[in-house]
Amino acid sequence: MKEQPMITRRAVLATVAGMSGALAAMNLHAQESPQAAPAPEGRLKQSVSRWCFRMKLEELAQAAKDIGLVSIDLLSLREVEKIKEFGLTCAMPNGPGRIEKGWNDPANHDELVAKSEELLPQIAEAGLNTMIVFSGNRGGMPDSEGLQNCVKGLNRILPLAEQLGVKLVMELLNSKRDHKDYMCDHTAWGAALAAELGPKRFGLLYDIYHMQIMEGDVIATIQENIEYIAHFHTGGVPGRNEIDETQELNYRRIMQAIADTGFTGYVGHEFVPAGPDPIASLRRAFEICSV
């Protein structure tokens, strides 16, 4: 029977040192390899709003593609054609009118209808299926009157939109800090409008940043109104900056709640990067929301 070699502390340390060196080399190679960090898989399709990122559209599109996003929000139809080259879509293209001058005022209807009748066929031809709309400011008008005015005005274009397969989506915005006097500033008002128009034809863009400022109770409100929500936007509160631990909302938990509802639309990042590397901020947001 052969005598077994003695295992000494020095031999063990030498072996461990060798293994550590090999692992370190492997890790260094992995970090250098562009294939080492694939985008995390998740249940939600993610987008980004172009206006928040001060760079050329092509640069943002390439970064979005590399990170794993599939869309860029709030683009003109001319810009939509540019991002198609990167395999991206526009989940929420620009629509007619302005935030403060919208469908709650009958004086705006003829102009908005004419512009919508021009835009809707172009949106459909571009392969898109949503168009953003705005309520407009109150200007002293009661909310109930503004809601019925929106119903009357939007019903003038809904048949065409439905025929073309385009859903109209009204954004919820805060009237406390950013958009003073805006009418569609609470989920309940927007949900009542969607119920009147039909949620299959008309939905809400639930901007989490804006609704945290106006009413809070974000997760429960989303769960209770998910049938009326067609799109989401993110943004840190306060300041509309990064959605990481620097702000007051737990975005990962919110995204888990959204995904658990079976939501099949898009979550668009609409925060303004405060850090020195905006693309790193976008990548981090993507990772937080990949649930």
In a domain, 9, yes or no: no
* pLDDT at site 40: 64
CA distance 20 to 106: 73
pLDDT in tens, 103-145: 999 999 999 999 999 999 999 999 999 999 999 999 999 999 9
Count of domains forming the chain: 1
In a domain, 137, yes or no: yes
DSSP 226: G
Q: What would the two tokens of residue 159 be?
A: 């048949």
In a domain, 156, yes or no: yes
* pLDDT at site 6: 39
CATH code for position 215: 3.20.20.150
* pLDDT at site 167: 98
* pLDDT at site 15: 40
What phi, psi does 282 have (nearest 5°)?
-65, -40
Q: What would the two tokens of residue 193 be?
A: 């409008």
CA distance 33 to 218: 40
In a domain, 30, yes or no: no
In a domain, 72, yes or no: yes
* pLDDT at site 16: 36
Q: Which run of H or of E encompasses 132?
A: strand 130-133
In a domain, 28, yes or no: no
* pLDDT at site 38: 52
* pLDDT at site 52: 97
* pLDDT at site 275: 87
237 lies in which domain range? 44-289
* pLDDT at site 31: 40
Other Cβ atoms less than 10 A from the Cβ of 110: the count is: 11
In a domain, 79, yes or no: yes
Strand partners for 268: 47, 233
Intervals of the chain under pLDDT 70: 1-40
* pLDDT at site 187: 98
> Of 183, 224, 177, 225, nearest to 204 (Cα)?
225
pTM of the model: 0.86
In a domain, 197, yes or no: yes
